Structure 1
């Protein structure tokens, strides 16, 4: 196999990992039984919108229903989050069109879009590219899975290295001026009373997208522990599919120990804590992060409340 084909195969495997689908070589063995392809149930703590984005978009959901410190409740149907939308079927696209979206924001870097494909969206709706750095994680996974070498994979991902990589990524959500600018722009658009329903996503819909959702909920005065549970709920939505991905990668021979990927597939409290500890170190408080780090003025924060909390 040529080097280009090896790289493409590895990238396909990475995309399968991130999108909770399976590489074609492993799909037949690990695909769910007929009728088992429905979305996982909502997380047990409730409070958030039930998943409405179709299965091709993974665990799509919104922040609606959460209670705030002020006694309000986050409105439903104005903000959605999901995995990448590149694998939607025609039926899925029709379902998405029913959401009335006026903007789709894509946090993926160009390499991810290149290998995963551009979003499939209803006619008249184009994605807004707003890349947030993954510190080279996607390329690292391409190299690790593409090598097929268990020793190299262990060296790259084992011994706590995958977890450390994730903590570093989360810190850059706070430390990188470019990343802060992307999150800030998204919050300003969500706050805009002239803007209709917004959906944002990355590749797997859990890290960059998860941080965006956590920040949004905190900005709306949703209690911190509730925002944390909402963030961690991605594990409930993804668990069964992620396990099938690991089984498929092992069966295909790409990985002898696909459990090395678990720290990359999951969201974890200590990942979130890495980002929140960083914002406290840099800005003193969450409010300082919003106003100094993201540059949001009081008027914008008030508009968020007015629009999204009833």
Structure 2
């Protein structure tokens, strides 16, 4: 890999920012993150300007996005067309497949655990493209949700999900992103794949919001995107999933599966507090975000420079 002297110096500075080694006052002011929409809000129209999230509308998936377009601390941009994030790709239509084929993907990483793949089906991808299974545990979230809904018992559902239990469960999911060694290894492997790849790559889970959201947050921070901007990208899942998730709740109610489907809203949403739980766990276990990246994920300065060179320009 050839990196100019100027670019290397810039990359080292960005790496320092990503690893948290510069004082807060040394970093440029960060833009304010957009407020997360409520689960019942109407979905925003796809946005394609370079300053916003680039949503890729498909019929069989609702949370597919190009990671590019965000500004870094030094005023450069994350490149479009290099890395994509998504929800499950099991239900892509033929028209969707044509659009996905146009992305030029050479690798698709599936974070779903086997139970999710069995329930929703394997990825449907353009010819010649096969998913790489890299399951990251959801801490039993999928099983919890299916068990609660499948019981059809409003009392049991309230016991399992009510009184803050659903949100507490999500906090537990995010702790495992940091505490579970297998999870750490798979997040790290994905970031190294991005650093080493010369072709477009996509990663996804079921909803494209938690495991996928955390991976994207890490990637954006590592290449020098301000924390509040990375948070805004994370929270945007609420916008793109809002209509789909509201429809699902209505179907659960109309189908007699749940009297109070709003119990699952904390499981459907992403929230700043969930992300903060993972960051707090990183502080407790590794002394902070820097320690999680270097000790927890085993990422060194060279890997971060490769990510920067690949993603920013």
Please report the TM-score for the alignment, with normalisation by the length of structure 2.
0.84
Matches within 5 A, 1:216-295: 216-295=219-298
Matches within 5 A, 1:199-210: 199-210=202-213
Separation in structure 1 between the aligned mates of residue 118 and residue 305 of structure 2, nearest angstrom: 38
Question: Which residue in 2 is equivalent to 1:178?
Answer: 182
Aligned residues of 1:154 and 1:260 also touching (Cα < 8 A): yes
Deviation at 1:53, TM superposition (A): 5.3
Deviation at 1:40, TM superposition (A): 4.2
Which digits, 9 at most, give the CA deviation of each residue in 1:159-186, with x for residues without a partner? 1000000001001100111000010000
Task: Give 5+ residue unaligned stretches, structure 1.
Answer: 1-35
Question: Which residue in 1 is equivalent to 2:36?
Answer: none
Deviation at 1:238, TM superposition (A): 1.1
Report which stretch shifted further, 300-309 or 56-65. 56-65
Matches within 5 A, 1:183-202: 183-192=187-196, 194-202=197-205
Establish whether residue 168 from structure 1 lines up as the match of residue 172 from structure 2: yes
Deviation at 1:195, TM superposition (A): 3.2
Report which stretch shifted further, 251-260 or 278-287. 278-287
Where in structure 1 do 4 or more consecutive aligned residues deviate above 6 Å?
A: 43-46
Question: Which residue in 2 is equivalent to 1:149?
Answer: 153
Separation in structure 2 between the aligned mates of residue 44 and residue 235 of structure 1, nearest angstrom: 18
Aligned residues of 1:48 and 1:61 also touching (Cα < 8 A): no
Separation in structure 2 between the aligned mates of residue 43 and residue 102 of structure 1, nearest angstrom: 25
Separation in structure 1 between the aligned mates of residue 244 and residue 61 of structure 2, nearest angstrom: 13
Task: Give 5+ residue unaligned stretches, structure 2.
Answer: 1-41
Aligned residues of 1:189 and 1:195 also touching (Cα < 8 A): no
Report which stretch shifted further, 282-291 or 170-179. 282-291
What's the C-alpha RMSD, in Å, of the aligned pairs? 1.7
How many pairs align? Answer: 272
Deviation at 1:71, TM superposition (A): 2.2
Give the 3-state SS of the residue equivalent to 1:57 in structure 2: coil
Question: Which residue in 1 is equivalent to 2:127?
Answer: 123
2:103 to 99, 104, 117: 99
Separation in structure 2 between the aligned mates of residue 243 and residue 226 of structure 1, nearest angstrom: 26
Question: Which residue in 2 is equivalent to 1:82?
Answer: 86
Report which stretch shifted further, 232-241 or 198-207. 232-241
